[in-house]
Structure 1
């Protein structure tokens, strides 16, 4: 019985009515095997975090996790289900034009596209766009100077559980070439959304977020309707909202965890702005507001609760191959000596970040296919003054009024250069981050 989140539960139930071709055969009231509240069953909550008993005793939090485990995307899924009629390329073209020129500019726009765009145009009551812009400015520093060295490591964390990783495996992402494309697309997405004005209605971030939602929904459709490997009783809904939350909010979780460790219940002004930016980006991605708490303790709680209710499993044929192919992927645009050295340094940093953040414990990282060697440690040690020193300098400069203009301009120049190396058209990132018509 739903007691705490009736509106969210209704959204889950509505999926069968909104998209019977996609969800008609799925029992949305059944709890999939991947979800567990049995204290005797090992979950995905890392042991270093602590016990999960207190989380499992919180009925409201458990209900939220169970409900969100069965929630896809009620507005993007119906549009993606038109793939048999229009094809993926045409769906992308119509969505792109609707984002740039408005849905009325799309000839014979399907009603599903109108509903999709209208949902993204909604401004939640809590939204402060000035604060979003400030949060984007502050987040841009880490996107330009830190993320290029860590994103692959964060990406690896999405592959350490079989139940969450299977949709990616079904897309054929086990090859090095596909893995490279996945990493660059993901890093580019998060970087693009930090550009000035990116999350405005006609900003480049709004458009790229819409495309991410469509791709997730296409994966969801293919898993449910075209894959014999998808066992609904075991996995439930593919790419559920509860699995999208960690990737969307990992940076604000890190800030929230730091606040909680310091005994703070409120954000600092800087953290508050970054939180507003991240929260709105996640809202545009389709995450329900129930998964987007406003306070540090709430952020930490939903992160830990998701892991505490996700059954542990690491299938080497799925997770291990995804990890290995992602680590082996070559992300640089060329093969000069500089490109090859930069690629090796970035891999060392990503492996270090993953090991320290997600693989704590004796042999935990090695068991998942990520093992630091002497060269990795030497490269990180040698480049720490450059990587962390430059990042710290730009963070400080961006908060000092006389230096802020210079810091912002430098950060934008570095970020656009970084995006260009991953194939993002420079014209798309100009004009204060808005799409050039």
Structure 2
């Protein structure tokens, strides 16, 4: 056993002692059904070039972090019976905006939570993070408004990782729209200038998302509808990897396919942004690789060991609710048109990026992609590609770089207005079982 794996196992075991109100019923010595280390794991170990073969340590790290929640944020969420979730959110917002000293009678759990986020590790290069945010503003302003729904749908392809969203009542169109817009808000906020600095709005957004995840864990584990022997812990660290690392995983996969094994300077900055954003969300360094092949290996380890399982009453309903959701804040003709175009593009994006063009699989999952959808995807992809190319050219031109960046920042600010106010909350009163959840539990 390597030191990294041993540290991970110690962190997992400590959860029950530190947070008995949440984890007393969880057997951390029992491997949950969701973790599959059988044929797929063996196949991954034996296939491909040596530098892309998942190592035993990487498999063991994924196995361990399948059972890790978030000790500091979970401890704070565990105060819900005492303070109520609205008061916890209000104190967290004040601590982010004004510092922990400004919160009257701040509980020690809040101080520990904020302190963990403030403790920027030595492996983070904040100058690279700022440069990565500047580079990502192009895609955030121009591509994300069309792709976010498709990327969100991709998180519902497996019942073992999708169940927490089903429990929180995200099966309705309104709640699905809110979750999509909150996700878009988080990523858009974190690329604004200075947003990830201590008192920046991205830092606060990360804290809110982190607390929301812990509230989901707290409420799910106490709901009586969560079977830890099957699902492990709700929203473990390995299930946050895809959301935080999907863009750089796709980039790394493409780079490896081209035969490269190193990032360019701009690619490395984007990786650093993603790694720091993941750190703020509570992910450990061991899951945040720095090389193309390392990123591909750790994501492959996570994906190959997540037992396959598509439950239509959980996954299918989540997908259909997300596809049916109306995302714009207004009902103007322009907003309605954008919703139609964006939905068609999202289907095409999902089909291409996550299903490798398998239309039959998309149909089975409740994502029918028509000829019109494919045509819209192609046209929007060309238009977005040309626009992003123009901004990339401007960013490399000294006389235009500042002006181009200022325009992108304004576009992102406008998008945030369109996404609406993000609440980042999880109220136990909204939790309701679905037929699929009842069967699973």
With the length of structure 2 as denominator, give the TM-score of the two structures. Answer: 0.91
The SS at the match of 1:75 is helix
The SS at the match of 2:208 is helix
**What are the within-5 Å matches in structure 2 for residues 299-314 of structure 1?**
299-314=295-310
Aligned-partner Cα distance in 2 for 1:266–1:56: 17
- Equivalenced residue count is 417
Aligned-partner Cα distance in 2 for 1:132–1:248: 14
Q: 2:101 aligns with which of 96, 99, 104?
A: 104
Aligned-partner Cα distance in 2 for 1:276–1:56: 23
Please tell me whether residue 276 in structure 1 is matched to residue 267 in structure 2: no
Q: 2:349 aligns with which of 344, 353, 366?
A: 353
The residue number in structure 2 matching 1:416 is: 413
Contact 2:287/2:298 (8 A) holds in 1 = yes
Contact 1:37/1:56 (8 A) holds in 2 = no
The SS at the match of 2:222 is helix
**What are the within-5 Å matches in structure 2 for residues 12-27 of structure 1?**
12-27=12-27
> Structure 2: any 5+ residue segments left out of the alignment?
423-441
Q: 1:373 aligns with which of 370, 375, 386?
A: 370
Deviation string for 1:21-50 (max 9, x for gaps)?
A: 1011211121100001110xx78x9xxxx9
**What are the within-5 Å matches in structure 2 for residues 150-161 of structure 1?**
150-161=147-158
Compute the displacement of 1:382 (Å): 3.5
Please tell me whether residue 239 in structure 1 is matched to residue 235 in structure 2: yes
Contact 2:171/2:318 (8 A) holds in 1 = yes
Aligned-partner Cα distance in 2 for 1:75–1:98: 15
Deviation string for 1:281-330 (max 9, x for gaps)?
A: 10011001100011111111111110100100000000000000000000
Moved more, 305-314 or 396-405: 396-405
Compute the displacement of 1:378 (Å): 2.7
Aligned-partner Cα distance in 2 for 1:125–1:157: 33
**What are the within-5 Å matches in structure 2 for residues 18-97 of structure 1?**
18-39=18-39, 53-54=46-47, 58-97=55-94
Aligned-partner Cα distance in 1 for 2:54–2:194: 42
The residue number in structure 2 matching 1:320 is: 316
Deviation string for 1:323-343 (max 9, x for gaps)?
A: 000000001111222111100
Aligned-partner Cα distance in 2 for 1:74–1:85: 18
Please tell me whether residue 386 in structure 1 is matched to residue 383 in structure 2: yes
Contact 1:365/1:371 (8 A) holds in 2 = yes
The SS at the match of 1:363 is helix
Moved more, 125-134 or 318-327: 125-134
The 1:317/1:53 distance shift into structure 2, 3 A limit, reads farther
The CA RMSD over aligned residues, in Å, is 1.8
